[in-house]
Amino acid sequence: YAPVRVNGFVCKNPMEVNADDFFKAAALDKPRVTNKVGSNVTLINVMQIAGLNTLGISIARIDYAPLGQNPPHTHPRATEILTVLEGTLYVGFVTSNQPAPNRNKFLSKVLNKGDVFVFPVGLIHFQFNPNPHKPAVAIAALSSQNPGAITIANAVFGSDPQISDDVLAKAFQVEKNTIDWLQAQFWENNHN
């Protein structure tokens, strides 16, 4: 027989559930090595803890190098609430294409240790560590067991197959050679 699935994940027989279905030795207290843009997101979701299935929550630790960023991205299935554990972060999001005068309004704030900021579901947002000398660390709680993440530049310039440079040149109102250069940067990073 086929196992029962909810939200794409197998549901365990409640009589067979144990503490390990709700546990992960995640070491979220330990610093992480950051990537090319100066961040590292360690997400704990339903793929790491099976017991999160149907509970609608996940958590992430985000490490930021000095001048590092978690670049503009969205979570298509979750609102995020972020708190700074160490350092300072400049954060912000852009509202949706609402009628004027609030069309694509940019809301931002500088957060210090202990401060909290909310990024509504699906909106493009980012975090940036403005300090050139000290790293920063934050914890984010997300309102989905599988929030998803779409990093804007990676998705647009590093898609497979590539989006036509004619389409992107018109959309961004730049020359095609600029789009070709951007695609080459992201293609190399995403596909090697």
Binding-site residue positions for Mn(2+): 73, 75, 80, 125
Torsion of CA 175, 180, 185, 191, to 10 degrees: 150
Please enumerate, by residue number, every residue annotated as part of a binding site for oxalate. Answer: 70, 75, 80
Q: CA Rg, the chain, in Å?
A: 19
How far apart are alpha carbons 123 and 78 in whole angstroms? 10
Largest CA distance in the chain: 62
**Residues annotated in a binding site:** 70, 73, 75, 80, 125
Name residue, tokens 């972020």.
82
Distance of CA 192 to the CA centre of its chain: 21
